[in-house]
Amino acid sequence: MAGELDKTGEQLPPEDDHDLLTHTQASDRLAEAIADEQDALRAAEAAGDAERVAHSRDRLRLLRQGAGRHGTPRIDATNAAAFYGWDTAAGPAAGGVPDVG
């Protein structure tokens, strides 16, 4: 049985395919969703459809918020020790916080 195709004609994965996206794939999908919603907003505005315009504006706002959260590094120099459970009192030589330079 043939599966579904996406809008580019590529085969979509099966519904039970739960692979995680890479950071780049997620970024690309967010950018594509934002561009698609911008197109939908322009079409709704051109058609004078106030309900669709409001929906598209709300969706764009949420997509842009998601893109902003996605673009913010989760682990950086200020929170790495807590995230990895490193002993901040011990130095690198004692197996504490690594010297990352």
Our count of domains for the chain comes to 1
* This prediction's pTM: 0.57
Q: Which two tokens stand for residue 63?
A: 């997509």
Whether 16 is covered by a domain: the verdict is no
DSSP labels, 45-56 = HHHT-HHHHHHH
Q: Could you list the residue range(s) of the whole structural domain that residue 29 is in? A: 23-74
Could you read off the pLDDT of 20-52 as tens digits, one per residue? 788 788 889 999 999 999 999 999 999 999 999
Whether 47 is covered by a domain: the verdict is yes
User: What's the rounded Cα separation, in Å, for the pair 14 and 12?
Assistant: 7
Whether 97 is covered by a domain: the verdict is no
User: What's the rounded Cα separation, in Å, for the pair 77 and 80?
Assistant: 6
Whether 89 is covered by a domain: the verdict is no
Q: CB neighbours of 37 closer than 8 A, spacing ≥ 6? A: 56, 59, 60, 63
Whether 94 is covered by a domain: the verdict is no
Q: Which two tokens stand for residue 55?
A: 């929906």
The residue-averaged pLDDT of 76-94 equals 69
